[in-house]
């Protein structure tokens, strides 16, 4: 098979499957993995696909993300309550990660102007924290996804891999008791996985509507989460299962005076 024909077939396969590993492509075309990596590098430079750790993903997959302007008006009360409780877990001197979720943006609004280091891939979070001069903000950089106003891809993943933080505050599309955390966009999922790996303690910010759901791309199992911050509508089975696996569950409580939560002290 000619190189040009192989390249065309690779793009077709990636777009069909949405993602594929180098080893699979190597088997399909009976060429070495190094050859496939060179193929993917060239195809990425031509804007025909996106490389990821160990493979490639379709650039069409980025469109699966719901636009930020739509997400920011979904379950607003729950997200704001969760964000307030999450912000209460942050102390002066902490080094934290915030992902590009709308809940992380609400959390950025709630963070006090105290000495902190915040690593994020969210443009909205960067803009919000720029108003607080005591907070040092580090942006990952990377490939811009206009729908989520965030950076993803190998450059963003490498940026996160360069640091070790005290706490990561992550959200996702689906939280399944058996299959763990998942996201609708593979590039976001890969980056969130790296964020969790590079953190001492992982806080999952997920409103109750996300439990029991599976999205397209796996992030990590639930046992990689230390604390789940959710709303009071979480079902008792999910709450008990999480606690049985030594995952602290904090529910944001609504009241006439605002939102209340619990301080969680990680060791």
Domain assignment present for 222: yes
Domain membership of residue 266 (yes or no) is no
| Per-chain mean pLDDT for the chain | 88
Q: CA 159 to CA 227: how far, in whole Å?
A: 25
Over residues 168-180, mean pLDDT: 94
Cα-Cα-Cα-Cα dihedral sign, residues 151, 104, 20, 66: negative
Listed in sequence order, the residues at least 6 apart from 83 whose beta carbon sits closer than 8 Å to its beta carbon are 103, 104, 106, 107, 109, 110, 205
Residues 140 and 25 in one domain: no
Task: Check residue 176 and give its pLDDT.
Answer: 93
Count the Cβ atoms, other than its own, within 10 Å of residue 75. Answer: 18
Q: Does 258 score more than 90 pLDDT?
A: no
Same-domain pairing of 221 and 252? yes
DSSP 63: G
User: Does 22 share its domain with 109?
Assistant: no
Burial of 72 (0-12, 13-18, 19+ CB in 10 A): middle
Give residue-wise pLDDT tens across range 179-229. Answer: 999 998 889 999 999 999 999 999 999 999 899 988 888 999 999 999 999
Model pLDDT, residue 115: 98
149 vs 162: CA distance, rounded Å:
22
What pLDDT is stored for residue 122 in this prediction?
97
> Residue 29: its pLDDT value, please?
95
If you average pLDDT over each of 47-61, 107-121, 249-263, which comes out highest? 107-121
**CA-CA distance, 62 to 144, in Å (whole number)?**
10
Same domain, yes or no: 129 and 16: no
Percent of the chain predicted with pLDDT > 70: 89
Q: Per-residue pLDDT for 267 more than 50?
A: no
Is the pTM of the predicted complex or chain greater than 0.75? no
Tell me, yes or no, whether 81 and 13 share the same domain: no
The alpha carbon torsion through 166, 111, 120, 116 (nearest 10 deg) reads -50
How far from the centroid of its chain's Cα atoms is residue 72's Cα? Answer: 16
- CA 185/CA 58 separation, integer angstroms: 10
Are 166 and 215 contained in the same domain?
yes
Q: How far apart are the C-alpha atoms of 249 and 68, rounded to whole Å?
A: 27
Looking at residue 110, what is its pLDDT? 97
Residue 70, pLDDT > 70, answer: no
Q: Does residue 264 carry a pLDDT above 70?
A: no
Half-sphere exposure of 150 (CA within 13 A, CB side): 30
Average pLDDT for residues 43-48, to the nearest whole number?
A: 91
The answer to whether residue 108 is domain-embedded is yes
Q: 43 pLDDT exceeds 60?
A: yes
Name which of 2-16, 54-68, 89-103, 217-231 the model is least confident about: 54-68
| pLDDT at position 63 | 44
* pLDDT attached to residue 57: 81
267 found inside a domain: no
Q: What is the CATH number of the domain that holds 137?
A: 3.40.50.1360
**CA dist 223 → 2, 163, 197, 202 (Å):** 46, 22, 12, 10
pLDDT at position 67: 52
Total count of domains within the chain: 2
Q: How confident is the model at residue 147 (pLDDT cuts 50, 70, 90)?
A: confident
C-alpha to C-alpha distance for 133 and 121, rounded to whole angstroms: 19
Report how far residue 170's alpha carbon sits from residue 103's, in angstroms, rounded to the nearest whole number: 9
Which backbone phi and psi does 221 adopt, to 5 degrees? -65, 160
Distance CA 57, CA 50 (A): 5
What residue numbers bound the domain in which 200 lies? 68-260
Helix then strand then coil, in percent of the chain rounded to 5, is 40, 25, 35
């Amino acid at each position: 098979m000619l190189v040009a024909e192989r390249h065309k077939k690779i793009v077709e396969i990636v777009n069909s499957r949405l993602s594929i590993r180098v080893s699979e492509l190597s088997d399909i075309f009976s060429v070495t993995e190094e050859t496939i990596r060179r193929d993917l590098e060239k195809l990425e430079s031509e804007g025909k696909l996106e490389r990821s750790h160990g493979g490639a993903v379709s650039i069409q997959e980025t469109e699966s993300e719901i636009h930020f302007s739509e997400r920011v008006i979904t379950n607003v009360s729950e997200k704001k309550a969760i964000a307030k409780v999450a912000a209460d877990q942050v102390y002066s001197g902490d080094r934290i990660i915030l992902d590009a979720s709308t809940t992380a943006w609400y959390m950025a609004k709630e963070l006090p102007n105290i000495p902190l280091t915040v690593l994020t891939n969210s443009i909205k979070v960067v803009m919000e924290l720029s108003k607080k001069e005591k907070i040092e903000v580090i942006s990952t950089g990377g490939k811009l996804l206009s729908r989520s106003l965030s950076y993803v891809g190998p450059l963003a993943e490498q940026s996160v891999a360069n640091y070790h933080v005290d706490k990561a505050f992550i959200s996702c599309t689906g939280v399944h008791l058996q299959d763990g955390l998942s996201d609708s966009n593979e590039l976001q999922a890969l980056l969130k996985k790296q964020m969790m790996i590079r953190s001492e303690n992982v806080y999952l910010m997920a409103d109750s509507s996300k439990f029991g759901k599976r999205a397209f791309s796996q992030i990590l199992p639930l046992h990689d989460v230390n604390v789940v911050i959710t709303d009071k509508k979480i079902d008792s089975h999910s709450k008990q299962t999480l606690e049985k696996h030594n995952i602290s569950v904090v529910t944001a409580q609504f009241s006439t005076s605002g939102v209340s939560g619990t301080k969680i002290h990680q060791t």
